[in-house]
Amino acid sequence: MLVTLLKSKLHHIRVTEANKDYEGSLTLDEDLMDTVGILHYEKVLVADVENGNRFETYAIRGPRGSGVCCLNGATAHLGTVGDRLIVMVWCHASEAEQRLHQPKVVRLDEKNRIVASAK
């Protein structure tokens, strides 16, 4: 049997931009994506800590080291610059994998720099 487990999490990433005239997605600093294993075009679940909105979209690569977190398209209506988000990705694990699984989680500061991580 497979179960769904948390694979990755960017905790308290701050929205740096909102672009309503884009086709849609969430642009993230590629360094942050690599740190927690979020793939280009991977489905993400996003929770906005400030207003309680939750939405699914996909992640796209932003410039490395930029700290970018941009709400694109329709998602730009669900948050504002400065909001803290929790970006989550899930995986499916077998019974054997469940015992060893540890999600990749980082907590970010107000400039989207890593202040703590768990692996």
The predicted-structure confidence for 77-119, as pLDDT tens digits, reads as follows: 999 999 999 999 999 999 999 999 999 999 999 999 999 887 6
- Nearest CA to 59 out of 82, 78, 33 is that of 33
Q: For residue range 22-80, list pLDDT tens digits in order.
A: 988 999 999 999 999 999 999 999 999 999 999 999 999 999 999 999 999 999 999 99
Q: Can you give the residue ranges of every domain in the chain?
A: 3-118
Q: For 36, phi and psi rounded to 5 degrees?
A: -105, 0
Dihedral (Cα; 106, 98, 6, 103), 10-degree rounding? 10
Q: Percent of the chain having pLDDT more than 70? A: 99
Q: Which fold has domain 3-118?
A: Barwin-like endoglucanases (2.40.40)
Q: Known catalytic residues? A: 25, 58
Does the predicted TM-score (pTM) go above 0.85?
yes
Amino acid at 80: T
Predicted local distance difference test score (pLDDT) of residue 119: 63
